[in-house]
C-alpha cells in the first residue's frame, strides 16, 4: 500500500490527468509530472512539473501514464528522455489510456524487456488497464491506494 512518503509520477497532466493528480495531492502524496505544454495549472495545484518523462520516471515510485493517444504514448515511452530511458526494476507503471490491444501488448512487452518488468492487470470500473510491476519474478501488482 502506498504511503504519503511515496512519490507518484503522472505523465499526461491535462484534461484527465490533472484532476487525478490533484486528488492524489489532496490525499497527501507528492506528485511529480510532465506535460509537453501548459504545466502551470499542475504547478499551481502543488505538483512538481519536471522537464521530461525520464525525469518523472526516475523520481517516482509509481508512474501513471494518462495520455491522449497511441502516438503520444509511443513518444513518451520511446522518445529521447522517454520513460524507457529511466525505467528501473521496482517501478510500477500503470497505463490509463484506452488503446488498441496490439499497441497495449507491444508497449507491455517493451517495458518487460527493458526492466525485467512483468505485466499485471489493474481493474478500474471493470476496464482493465495494463500495469507493469518491475521485479525479478512475475507477480500481480499489489493494491496501491
Question: Would you list the domain boundaries of the chain?
Answer: 7-134
**Averaged pLDDT for residues 37-61:** 95
φ, ψ dihedrals at 50, nearest 5°: -105, 170
CATH number for the domain whose boundaries are 7-134: 3.40.50.720
pLDDT reported for residue 22: 96
Q: Which helix (H) or strand (E) holds 119?
A: strand 117-124
pLDDT reported for residue 52: 97
DSSP state, residue 5: T
DSSP state, residue 140: P
pLDDT band at 44 (very low <50, low <70, confident <90, very high): very high
DSSP state, residue 132: E
Convert the pLDDT of each residue in 51-81 to its tens digit: 999 999 999 998 999 988 888 888 998 999 9
pLDDT reported for residue 125: 33
pLDDT reported for residue 144: 61
pTM of the complete model? 0.76
pLDDT band at 127 (very low <50, low <70, confident <90, very high): very low
Amino acid at each position: 500500500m502506498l504511503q504519503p512518503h511515496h512519490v507518484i509520477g503522472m505523465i499526461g497532466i491535462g484534461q484527465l490527468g490533472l484532476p487525478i493528480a490533484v486528488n492524489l495531492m489532496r490525499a497527501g502524496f507528492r506528485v511529480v509530472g510532465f506535460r509537453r505544454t501548459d504545466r502551470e495549472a499542475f504547478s499551481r495545484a502543488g505538483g512538481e512539473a519536471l522537464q521530461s518523462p525520464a525525469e518523472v520516471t526516475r523520481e517516482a515510485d509509481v508512474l501513471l501514464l494518462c495520455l491522449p493517444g497511441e502516438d503520444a504514448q509511443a513518444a513518451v515511452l520511446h522518445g529521447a528522455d522517454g520513460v524507457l530511458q529511466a525505467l528501473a526494476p521496482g517501478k510500477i507503471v500503470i497505463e490509463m489510456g484506452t488503446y488498441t490491444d496490439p499497441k497495449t501488448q507491444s508497449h507491455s512487452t517493451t517495458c518487460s524487456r527493458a526492466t525485467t518488468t512483468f505485466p499485471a492487470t489493474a481493474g478500474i470500473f471493470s476496464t482493465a488497464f495494463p500495469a507493469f510491476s518491475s521485479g525479478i519474478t512475475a507477480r500481480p501488482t499489489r493494491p496501491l491506494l
